[in-house]
Structures are given as structure tokens and as C-alpha cells.
Structure 1
């Protein structure tokens, strides 16, 4: 059998999405979620594999702008909806779609492609590196106390309707998005994904709830969450399941957490994904009772090495020649001379006649790109080879950033 790969036609979306759902276990999406994902699909940036009239493979790419170190919002392809039917495995179809997609991303002039991986082992061979990590916690609020910063008492926390609060919440999100690498600058309609609230999303918990943190009438933060009731013979032991929390100052941040810790008939708060430098871990009285867990988050692929390295800022001056291996996108392979100061200016150009200072693959470069994975760690694992003594430490310092990169929501 042969399969045809083509750009998704709007009339084919139902078959395309059905193929995706089947590949992810066959559980049907709630009608509200399905309608939103159909609305968000960019057909001209999506492809399908067709065996006759049957869709057997899917892949899409959202038009994202991703915050990178220095605060710039860089055009990036948000890779999504990747699947191959179980009847068509081991025929190279995923590789075919990845080949087409990265060629397309390059033609669109986007220097980055990013994704979240259902199975982390899949995407390294296509040049994606795990660039952010996500923290999950399950806090025993019956035994953990908060040490609140000054000004917390001046913050008012009030309930509001999640949909009605969207404009205020989005303003807070937008102000914070430029400060943390890995955060997508929200594109139109994406705010609706933050308030999807179907019975399937609830999984036995309450409808989505929202509170705002205010001082002198100004919204400084918000939290959205559900409450999952539970009881035993000793009494109530419900769980607060946090969806989103963001705040513009320490007092508002602490006031929101204090509210969540104090919700009646609950004894725990589940939260994640959160940044690994989550300030909460410095407010709690006992980190051991927070059951913290860290796992991979956003995967980054440099589609155009030179443009991507010029788009971000660097924490310290750097002058280095990187020899990059990239079998899947050979236009990236070779030696690149990166020169940057600590004021935000960077230049990167091909330098085939220069001796390399470091040797690495594009996968490691993607992992380190947002500042969360040190080159020193990659070198210790044998993933980066130092040619010039001292180059690893120099580059590691330059690529680092003052906050951990973080992807606040999936796509």
C-alpha cells in the first residue's frame, strides 16, 4: 500500500482528527474541546497521510511566538497532533511527516520548532532536545504551613467567573510571558483553552473556579482550580486541583497560595506543571510533604541555527565556534561562529575555516537554547565535546538565564 501526504483540507478535518484520537487511545474528545481544537487548527500548516480515503497519519504546527532569553518573542512552529495509525507502523511514515514539516517550517522563516512529547524517546532523532522541566507537587496542607511575605494581608482575594475574568487574567499572563523563556505569547483564541470546562476535564471534581488577587482595585494575580471532594471515617479530605496560577508580585502570589491552602473540606493541593524554580517551595514549612516531582516539558528544535542563536540574549559575553551535527536538517550542519555581549546583541555566521571550540549535535543545542540545561551538564554526559579548554564553562555561563524556562500550558 502507498500513502499520500498532503496539506489538510478543511473538509477533511473530521477524518484527520478521528485518526489522531484513535492513535491516542480512541477516547473521544468532549464536544466543546473538539470544537475549540477545530477552530485552532491551521489547515495550511497541517498535513495528513491518506491511504485511499482513510487518514492514517497526522501532524500540525501552530503559529507561535515563543519567549526566549532576553524577552524577545520568536516565531516558532508549535508542533502538535502527530500520529500514525497502528495499521501503518514501521513504514517510515513519521519520518516522512517530520521531513515535510521541518522543510515547511524553514520555508515559513521560523527559526524554531517546539513540541511536547507523548513519548520522549521519539523526537530526539529529529533534532528535538528537552529544554524545559516541569514541577508537580502534592502538598499536604493539613501539615504544611506558609511563611508569608510582608504585604500579603493587603491583598484581597475574591471569587469570580472564570470566563468573565479572562481579560484580567490574560493581562497578567501577558505581562509575565516576556519574563520567562519557554512561555508562548498568547495568540488569538488560545485564551479559550484556559477555561475549557467539560465533564471529562473535571474527572469527578467541581466545575472550574477562579479567584483574583487585587490591591486597591488592581488585578495582580489569579488562580483557576477545581475541588475534588473526598471523605473517610475521620472526616473530609478533599483535594484542590490547581490549573493555573500567576501573580505580579510576591504578596499577591502568596495570598493566592494561602487561599488555596485554606479551602474548606480539603487537605491537599495538587499543582503542575509549575516552573522548577517555583517560589512556593521557599514559603512552605516542610518541602518533604510537598511530594515534588520533576519531568520533561518543552522540546526545542533549531530549524535555522544562525537565526535562532541571534534571536536570544546571553547572560555573559561569548565568542565561540560551535561545530554542529545535524543529519536531519543538513543545512544546519557545520561550524557556526557566535559572538554576543551581555547587553543583548548577538551575531552568528558560518565559519568553515575556523577551528571549533565545542562539538555537539543540534539536539543538545536545542536542549540548552532556553537557558535551562547547562552545557557543563551536557559535557559531563558526553553529549558535548570540548575542543578548546575552558569553552564549556564559558558557553554554559553565557547560555544560562536568571529564571528557569517553563512551558505553562500544553498544545
Structure 2
């Protein structure tokens, strides 16, 4: 066994080498049902994979389980953009399940993260019930919408001083990335896209279009200066139905804008495309302005799904990295059986917005008692500590402490993960 190796159920756990990537990634594909990804998608994930942050378990020469992490940066409440380990590519072959391999991988990974550069880890889950036992809390939701064209109209003021222009998605990509970067500090949960990641929203393999058109892009530009103020990316499936009546669908990938009027103009454009009956979008913030832009929000058919699961790796540093909406001085008694270095009592202080925070160990009596999972859920400000208290997951031990912490942890905007990883 090398210095890099540990064992789980007698099998070697170690980091990946570049030459092993194909077999390691195939293990992930099989764990998720066996279908091979499109070559363009597979090539991008190979380019983005960080081998030294990718773990595998081998049974002899065969990889049978895998887990990785990307080195990303994410906005937290207060507008700071901080390093985060984006946990990804987690899977175990069906022949090796129920043997503790996933637990072993997550423990090995979390210990490595503690010794590395991030105080936070995040992930998206294929099954939402898996990761709570490893200390991850559900910290943000996503909203899907389906709007019937012709039945919903934009009633909010639309910016008429802009020019809408169709553009090649790839050619316009750099300008759209610059606009996206302007938006990142404004909402918790948004990811700063490092070099290479700008390819992800442009990924459009022909074999993966499911009958839709190639991706299209509409730009909203200032009519006088030509400055880009917003964009939308989408694809169209035209279906003439059984009676030659247009019954197509617009599948929206991105809608981003710098001003409310431009955002309204982009939705007005999408809801009025020809030859379609509906507009769908799979991932918007739960407080998206589109809910208020239209005259009949019920027809948007909003549906919630879980998005970002948050794990405090080094609790004190993580709590010091984010901002707080109000002054705060509470003692937290935290349980964390999977990462015992976080367990115990911590005094969290902040003088309020822009004033920073401190989190240090203490022997003082606790004001709130909770698991690290609940701290992860509340971390981005979208899940209220008071709601967790009403669910019995946060216990108030000091008078008024729950309301004080609830106000301080809250965020003006709901956290949102704009894309997966």
C-alpha cells in the first residue's frame, strides 16, 4: 500500500491518475444506469476533472467506486465569493453496494478537504436522501416552470431602448460570460466560472437534443451603445400535432439580465415565439422575478426541486466567511458525528452587514443546539433557522436566540445554483 492509499472493506482507496480516467468514469456511468454520455460531454468532463481531487476504490485492477471534487468559487451571503469544494462524480457499482464503500469514500474525501483549502463543500444529489448522514444539508431549491404561450403575457414594464438580436451561441459566449460574472456576487449559491467552465452552458451535442433545434441565443443590447444587457439561450421543438396545428415547445436554458426591464423584455420575447404552445425552463431561483412579471402566475405551473446540498468542512472558517444581515451573538452547540472536529460549542459573533464575523470555541452555555446538517441547510440564507426550529431540528436553549440567529442568517435573495457540476 502506498502513502496515498487507505482501505475500505479490504479494497484500496486512492487518488486517480490521468491514465485511469476512462475506466474510472465508466464506473460512474455504470453506477448511473450504464448509458454512455455523448462524446462532446464526456470530453468536457475529462478536461475539467482534477485527478488529484478524484478518488476511486479498486477491486484488483478494476475501479468499483468513485468520487471527485472541483475547485470552484461560490457566492455566500454578504456578496463574498469564496473557495468551495464541489463534490461530484460519486458512484458505486451495483456489485459492490451495501459494503460501506460510499461511506469510506465520503470520509476519506471530507478528511482531505479539511486539510485542504476550502471550508465548504457542496453537491447536487441524484437521490436527495443520501447525503444527510454525511452532514450535508439542503441549502437551496430550484424552480421549474411551464408557461402556455398565448395564455400568459408579460405585464411588467419592458425596456424598449434595447435591441434584440439573434447571435451564434458560441461566438457570443465571451460577452455572455462577462455579463454572467457581473451577476455572480449578487446572489448566494452562484458559481464563479473558472477557465474551461464557460464551455458548460454551450454544450450542445447533436445526439443529445431530443428532437430540439440546435441551441439558439438572443442578445439584448443597448440600442445606442451596443452594450450587452441580457441574453437568453433556448432550443425549439416544432410539432404540428395530428391536425397540422403548431404544438411546439421552447426549452429555455439561460435567461440573464442586468436590469428588470431587460429581463422582462427577454421573457416577453420567449413567450411570443411562433409555432409553439409552451415554454419550459428547468432551473430558476425560487424567487425569480418572472413570477411577478406575468399577468397569470398560476399558469406558469411552478414546481420545486432540491438543488444545492451544503456541508461545513471547517465550521469556524465557514461561518466567518459569510456575512450576516443583523448583529449576532449566540453560542451554538453542534453535533457532527461524521466530522468530529466540528462538534462542540462555538460562539458566533457579528456586528451586522459588512462588519465581519468571528467563530471560536467556548465553554459558555449554549443558546441553540443543532446538527451540522442544519447549519449547512441554513448557511446560504434560503432555509430559515426558525423553520428548522419549528420542525424540531434546531432547539432553542436561550431566550430569543432562535429569532436572533434566524434574522442574522437570512439572505435578501434566495440562493440559487445556476448549473450543475
Query: What TM-score comes out, normalization by structure 2 length?
Result: 0.96
Distance 1:259 1:142 in 2: 12
Q: Summarize deviations over 1:336-374 as a string: whole Å, max 9, x none.
A: 101102232333333332000000000000000000000
2:217 match: secondary structure: strand
Distance 1:402 1:390 in 2: 22
Pairing 1:74–2:101 present: no
Number of equivalent positions: 410
Pairing 1:172–2:179 present: yes
| Residue 283 (structure 1) aligns with | 293
Aligned positions of 1:324-403 closer than 5 A: 324-403=334-413
Q: Summarize deviations over 1:195-225 as a string: whole Å, max 9, x none.
A: 0111243111000111111112010111111
The verdict on how the C-alpha distance between 1:317 and 1:138 changes in structure 2, with shifts beyond 3 A counting, is same
CA contact (8 A) 2:320 2:359 kept: no
Pairing 1:310–2:328 present: no
Q: Summarize deviations over 1:60-102 as a string: whole Å, max 9, x none.
A: 0000111001111111100000000100011100000001101
1:235 match: secondary structure: coil
CA contact (8 A) 2:150 2:272 kept: no
CA contact (8 A) 2:310 2:377 kept: yes
More deviation in 376-385 or 141-150? Answer: 141-150
CA contact (8 A) 1:312 1:344 kept: no
CA contact (8 A) 2:57 2:64 kept: yes
CA contact (8 A) 2:155 2:293 kept: yes
- Alpha-carbon offset, residue 33 of structure 1: 0.6
Q: Where does structure 2 lack aligned partners over 5 or more consecutive residues?
A: 1-8
CA contact (8 A) 2:86 2:123 kept: yes
Distance 2:218 2:357 in 1: 45
Aligned positions of 1:2-81 closer than 5 A: 2-81=10-89
- Alpha-carbon offset, residue 234 of structure 1: 5.8
Distance 2:351 2:180 in 1: 29
1:241 match: secondary structure: strand
CA contact (8 A) 1:359 1:384 kept: yes
Distance 1:201 1:393 in 2: 48
Distance 2:11 2:169 in 1: 44
- Alpha-carbon offset, residue 142 of structure 1: 1.9
CA contact (8 A) 1:114 1:300 kept: yes
| Residue 4 (structure 2) aligns with | none
- Alpha-carbon offset, residue 309 of structure 1: 0.5
Q: Where does structure 1 lack aligned partners over 5 or more consecutive residues?
A: none
| Residue 212 (structure 2) aligns with | 205
Aligned structure 1 segments of 4 or more residues deviating by more than 4 angstroms: none
CA contact (8 A) 1:134 1:273 kept: yes
Pairing 1:135–2:134 present: no
Query: What TM-score comes out, normalization by structure 1 length?
Result: 0.98
- Alpha-carbon offset, residue 26 of structure 1: 0.7
CA contact (8 A) 1:334 1:350 kept: no
More deviation in 78-87 or 284-293? Answer: 284-293
